[in-house]
Amino acid sequence: MTIEAGLTQLQVDVAELADESQSLAKSVTSSLAEIDAVKGDIQNTHNFVDSNYQAMNDWQTKHGTVTFKNLQGQNKQVNTLSKLILDSEKINPNPHVMSKAQFDALRELCKQQYAGSGFVEWGKHIEVNNVHEAINEGFYSHINTSDILGMARANDGVGKSRSFYPVTIVDGIKHKIDRVASDSSQVFNRTKIQFPPAPDGTKTYDSATGVVTEHASAAEAFNERKYTTPIVEPSFVSWDAATNTATFSATSPNGPDFSTGKSTGVVKLIAVVESSENSIIELRDVTSPNGSAPLITSKTLSEGEATSIEAEYTATTTGVYFRVPTPQVGQTLKIHSFQVLTSTESVITSRKDLVFLETWHEKISDKDVVYPLGNVQYGGTTFDGMPLDLSPSGIAQGYSAFGEWDTVTTGRGHKWTTLTDTQKKKFIDNPENNIYYDSETGELIQVRYRIRVVEGKGDDWEQVTADRSTSKILNVSMTMGYSNSLLNYLRFRGSSDDSRDYYISGDRVLYGSAISEEPSLWTEGVGGVIYGGKAISIALVQRMNQGAYHPTYNPMGTRKWNTTGTWANFAWYHGNVSAAGTAECFKITEGNPANSEDHGAYSNSGYISTSRSGRSDQYSFYDAIYAGQVEDLRLNANKLDVNQLREESMRKAVAGEMRGKGKVPFTFVMPLKQSTTGLVNQGWVCFIGPDSPINFYTHPVTKSIPRTAGVPNTSGLSIVGSFKVGGTVYTFDEVRLHVTGHQYIYFKLTAGTLGSTSKKTKVIFSLQDSYKSTSEFESLPWVDIIGDPERIATTFPDGVVGQWVPQVPDGTNKLYSLSEKSNSELQTQWTDDDGLTWNSGILSTDFVSNGRAANIPIGRVQLFNYETSSNFTERSNNSVVVGDVGDVHFTTHSNPAEGNRLQGSLTGGIGKANADPAQTFAPNLGEYKFLSSGEFSEYNQYSVKTGEVPLAGQGNDSPAVKSLSTITEKDGLLYLQLHGAELKHQPLGAMHTINAGVAFDYTKGELAILQGFDNASFNVPVIFLNDKAMTLSKTYFNRATIKSDGTIVWQSGLVDKNLRVVTSSTAWGDDQVIPIVNGENVKTDLNGNTVKVFCHHTQIPLGIASN
């Protein structure tokens, strides 16, 4: 039923109500007629005047019934005027107010009209350089205003929406979202979503208990123990508290013993130490110097080099002994940092905040207040010409707060009982205020809403959208929350004025689609019992932090640095800055050189009003929220034509307008020693700890790496890394652990093999997902690392944010290819002396070749900082197709707006086209088959046919991709589904002649012209698919034929694996099919190259499925 039909029915209901009122009116008229008859009798019979005169007065002034006497002397009971009016109001005391039954009927009509709960209109947005950044339709950031996002833009707003403000449907009820925390002086910014301050390093989160603890300082939060007084044996070692340094006066094993400040049990420690001599250090579990106490870990220290030590262990005491087994007299051991936390405890230095809309039904009389639009955060001073009160009826501020952190936001409304009847009618008559009458309770009800912003406990939210597919844990109730534990569930607030966000016993929570039965709707409940409150998700927002930026210790920081004895304002790489751990990045100081302890993060930097940032990318300030930090969770509530949706979504995908999310990798440095392995012939290299066994299963860096070593032909985790042995640089692209041997770690070389050398080395490898890389962005602040792995390990012994580029500088001019597609110039820093001194600058990028041509000296370590777009698709299973099958898109373009971003998301390849056509659509040629369940058949004979590649050959080794678009449905939501294959270009260079009967030796990819064969069809150019030495007789091809794509087929039906005839499609080696797979796989193209094939879905749903 349409809305128009619903309104028609509503008019019928109103007409019926009018009939009842008319009937009552007739009763009144009838009574008046009877009275008139009595009055006539009075006039005719003077004897009855006295008795009926009093009755007439009582009828007008009293409540109940009165008795009249007619001319015949009979008594007549008549209802008084006030009772007649009351009887009429019993049907509806406010005839102009919609009844609950009518309100619910209209809600059901809306549920039929729309696909589900979400946004009917996005509202308008704005984009102005250095002021506003558009996130999506109707959603934008204020990058020069602290901690705020905007929705609804009046007067100067742009976008497709028919209204400047958003309109939502939540469980069938429309809500106009306007004036949220925005007062009447805000002509343009009509909805301002406020956020809590960025992390400052003073809060810790315990994942075992769900408890967040706020500490007095960052040092207390990190449990920095270097400032405590250790136990030392004065005969062997002395302690200088001013410099946190132990000095050895004897060669006997000794060192300082610190209290951990924690109870016994599983703990993790982080220490940064520096020795004045090459030395070994042992960390032992004991409260006083004792060399036989249990060993926690040991490490080799290089002279004058600050070295990080991390370990997780089961503490049997509350102390740690820093023991040097063979000290030299006069040797010093400086403790730059020593921190101990429980194994489940962490300092919050990176955080995501969740935004959602919460609605509920509330009696107006409960608080004696009415709110415009039902918006309890309404900031306007007037509504419909009526003045509004701040905190009407003395309502607590928490009722309007965005979250428990918000002690400022106060909504404006009006005390109901002080409104005149005319003013009340104004509120009631406006349907946008969502007021109805409940006859069962005899109360006026208003449906109200607030936008909530919940401060996260870190980056790893468990459930932020209601649909089943987003849950990281199977078979859970999908309760909105940071993790799947009670204390991390979010509390439904509703009519409460308690702004607390997280659950405690007795609270109600928000259940997802398994309970709400809508993929986009959260519903209030507890213990499986459902109540009337509802919610829809809006956004998840990544926050920067208030600490000083450092690429090793605080990649999410924004401040600059102070150093002792010098005025402030330094970048991380300045010679006076010597950061020694994360805690130091959060020591906020003023920059006064007269204060010898005034080193750390410079207070007057890192936020908008200072105009000073310690970063070299697009995220300058911690209090700004940039568009690239926002994951848009809003869903379109309108019913969508899936074929139109497919075409529009594919257009956006090609144009690079789809939003996604991704992480910046961290490159770790790990001292290791090469060991033996039975997998040498498969290209694997095995390593163990350099001095003592390392348990790679529990090590914080490697504990999440797959345990598949020892299983031939089983892949590990794809990474980029390198090490140097015997002066030779080796690179690898996979890592895995042994299935049982916890002390082994394996890397697979990109080329060649390496037998056991038993040599120590420092291995560098870049991990996309690790405890150092939890933050996610739509626009990534990427870092590429250029350099010899040995030099990188020396410059950044504790690792560095970014990805290593496997091109080692050799002092010649060459193109350094960037690892991701650059959308900006390169902000760069470099060192030629292992980090003692640095230089910085801005470099241009060749946006076609996606690189930088440069002569980088041998030994230099250089960082390239640039902006790149995240992937917006992810590998997924082949799923049910909804609607028609789209065309095939081909691209090798260098422009992100012409398929380049799509290609990167699907295959990781970067288009570098320098010749047109470089991207286009072509019809799919069918021959696919659908299963009864609605998915493509995965049998090879039903692969999708695509025709020849309609792209020009590229002269700069530019890869390509072809992809087929469909719409798929998962858990009630719609996604773009893309099946496709990677294409590799094979330049057709110079050709040699091969004569029949003459021996030859060719390598894969080379071309030649055959000559002298009896079957003249084969005296043509061919391409070699393998390395091959062979002799072909003149009759060799007599029983062979050539297919249109150049494939040579023998009479037996077998395909020749060594040769292919050159055709127009040879350059791309494309077999003109798209195989249907789950996730990702590989195939061999016609030129013998291994190429990726895939099934991807968009990360973010496109809309809600409807029948």
Mean pLDDT calculated for residue range 708-714: 60
Judgement on whether residues 744 and 727 belong to the same structural domain of the protein: yes
Q: Give the DSSP letter of residue 654.
A: H
In angstroms, the CA 590 to CA 594 distance is 11
Do 237 and 322 meet the contact criterion of CB atoms below 8 Å apart?
Answer: no
Judgement on whether residues 960 and 1025 belong to the same structural domain of the protein: no
The pLDDT score that the predictor gives to residue 5 is 52
Q: What percent of the chain has pLDDT over 90?
A: 71
The pLDDT score that the predictor gives to residue 703 is 87
* Tally of domains within the chain: 7
DSSP string covering 786-826: ES-HHHHHHH-TT-EESEE-S----SSEEEEE-SS---SPE
The pLDDT score that the predictor gives to residue 43 is 57
Domain boundary (845, 869, 893) is at 869
Q: Kindly list the distances between the CA atom of residue 900 and the CA atoms of 650, 680, 745, 955, 1085, in Å, as whole numbers in the listed order.
A: 13, 38, 36, 17, 22
Of the two residues 1004 and 328, the one the predictor is more confident about is 328
pLDDT at 41 over 70: no
* Residue 794, C-beta contacts closer than 8 angstroms, at least 6 positions apart: 762, 834, 835
The answer to whether position 574 is within a domain reads: yes
In angstroms, the CA 374 to CA 581 distance is 49
Q: Which of 351, 41, 345, 421 is nearest to 195 (CA)?
A: 351
In angstroms, the CA 462 to CA 479 distance is 9
In angstroms, the CA 1078 to CA 879 distance is 9
In angstroms, the CA 521 to CA 465 distance is 8
Q: What percent of the chain has pLDDT over 70?
A: 90
pLDDT at 473 over 60: no
pLDDT digits over 622-673, tens only?
999 999 999 999 999 999 999 999 999 999 999 999 999 999 999 999 999 9
In angstroms, the CA 244 to CA 233 distance is 16
Q: Kindly list the distances between the CA atom of residue 194 and the CA atoms of 238, 545, 752, 835, in Å, as whole numbers in the listed order.
A: 53, 17, 56, 41
pLDDT at 91 over 70: no
The pLDDT score that the predictor gives to residue 1089 is 87
The pLDDT score that the predictor gives to residue 274 is 94
The pLDDT score that the predictor gives to residue 688 is 94
Relative to beta strand 167-170, strand 173-176 is antiparallel
The pLDDT score that the predictor gives to residue 867 is 98
Mean pLDDT calculated for residue range 709-737: 84
Lowest-confidence region among 2-6, 425-429, 876-880: 2-6
Judgement on whether residues 166 and 236 belong to the same structural domain of the protein: no
The pLDDT score that the predictor gives to residue 366 is 96
The three-state secondary structure class of 944 is: strand
pLDDT at 16 over 60: no
In angstroms, the CA 752 to CA 1064 distance is 34
Burial 418-429 (b: 16+ CB within 10 A, else e): eeeeebbebbbe
Mean pLDDT calculated for residue range 809-819: 95
Lowest-confidence region among 546-550, 606-610, 691-695: 691-695
The pLDDT score that the predictor gives to residue 474 is 46
What is the strand order of the sheet 307-315 is part of? 237-240, 245-248, 332-342, 265-275, 307-315
pLDDT digits over 353-393, tens only?
999 999 999 999 999 999 999 999 999 999 999 999 988 88
Mean pLDDT calculated for residue range 768-785: 95
pLDDT at 84 over 70: no
Q: Kindly list the distances between the CA atom of residue 575 and the CA atoms of 561, 831, 836, 863, 1047, in Å, as whole numbers in the listed order.
A: 11, 11, 7, 17, 63
Q: Kindly list the distances between the CA atom of residue 121 and the CA atoms of 167, 373, 375, 638, 834, in Å, as whole numbers in the listed order.
A: 5, 16, 17, 9, 56
pLDDT at 1073 over 80: yes
CATH for 299: 2.60.120.260
Judgement on whether residues 340 and 304 belong to the same structural domain of the protein: yes
The pLDDT score that the predictor gives to residue 82 is 58
Of the two residues 790 and 77, the one the predictor is more confident about is 790
Tokens 């692969």, located at residue:
943
The three-state secondary structure class of 693 is: coil
The three-state secondary structure class of 890 is: strand
The answer to whether position 820 is within a domain reads: yes
The pLDDT score that the predictor gives to residue 676 is 83
Which token pair is 190?
A: 């009509």
Judgement on whether residues 170 and 298 belong to the same structural domain of the protein: no
Which token pair is 504?
A: 């405690």
Domain boundary (847, 869, 891) is at 869
Judgement on whether residues 721 and 795 belong to the same structural domain of the protein: yes
pLDDT at 31 over 70: no
pLDDT digits over 745-765, tens only?
999 999 988 988 889 999 999
In angstroms, the CA 1094 to CA 26 distance is 76
Would you report the helix, strand and coil content of the chain in percent, each value rounded to 5?
Answer: 15, 35, 50
Which residue(s) pair with 78 in the sheet? 66
The pLDDT score that the predictor gives to residue 184 is 75
The pLDDT score that the predictor gives to residue 711 is 57
**Cα-trace Rg, the chain:** 37
Which token pair is 800?
A: 């560095």
Which token pair is 109?
A: 């009509």
pLDDT digits over 243-302, tens only?
999 999 999 999 999 999 999 999 999 999 999 999 999 999 999 999 999 999 998 898
Judgement on whether residues 511 and 418 belong to the same structural domain of the protein: yes
Do 527 and 489 meet the contact criterion of CB atoms below 8 Å apart?
Answer: no
The pLDDT score that the predictor gives to residue 36 is 62
The answer to whether position 521 is within a domain reads: yes
CA angle 481, 487, 488 (to 5 degrees): 20
Mean pLDDT calculated for residue range 807-817: 95
The answer to whether position 630 is within a domain reads: no
In angstroms, the CA 10 to CA 7 distance is 5
Q: Residue 706: pLDDT band by 50, 70, 90 thresholds?
A: confident
Judgement on whether residues 673 and 766 belong to the same structural domain of the protein: yes
Q: Residue 468: pLDDT band by 50, 70, 90 thresholds?
A: confident
The strand ranges marked E within 489-560 are 509-511, 522-526, 529-543
The pLDDT score that the predictor gives to residue 559 is 97
Domain boundary (869, 903, 932) is at 869
Judgement on whether residues 1032 and 1080 belong to the same structural domain of the protein: no
Q: Report CA dihedral (892, 894, 900, 903) to the nearest 10 degrees.
A: 40
Residue 85: domain span: 3-91
Judgement on whether residues 855 and 915 belong to the same structural domain of the protein: no
pLDDT at 49 over 60: no
The answer to whether position 655 is within a domain reads: no
Q: Which of 807, 777, 776 is nearest to 792 (CA)?
A: 807
pLDDT digits over 507-524, tens only?
999 999 989 899 999 999
Do 868 and 888 meet the contact criterion of CB atoms below 8 Å apart?
Answer: no
Judgement on whether residues 484 and 583 belong to the same structural domain of the protein: no
Which residue(s) pair with 734 in the sheet? 718, 748
Mean pLDDT of the chain: 90
The pLDDT score that the predictor gives to residue 362 is 98
In angstroms, the CA 96 to CA 444 distance is 12
The answer to whether position 626 is within a domain reads: no
Judgement on whether residues 819 and 720 belong to the same structural domain of the protein: yes
pLDDT at 106 over 60: yes
Query: 205: exposed, middle or buried (C-beta count within 10 Å: 0-12, 13-18, 19+)?
Result: buried
- In this structure, the number of other CB atoms found within 10 A of the CB of residue 887 comes to 17
Q: Of the segments 563-567, 828-832, 953-957, which one has the largest average pLDDT value?
A: 828-832
In angstroms, the CA 178 to CA 373 distance is 8
- In this structure, the number of other CB atoms found within 10 A of the CB of residue 96 comes to 10
The answer to whether position 208 is within a domain reads: no
Relative to beta strand 307-315, strand 345-347 is unpaired
* Residue 1053, C-beta contacts closer than 8 angstroms, at least 6 positions apart: none
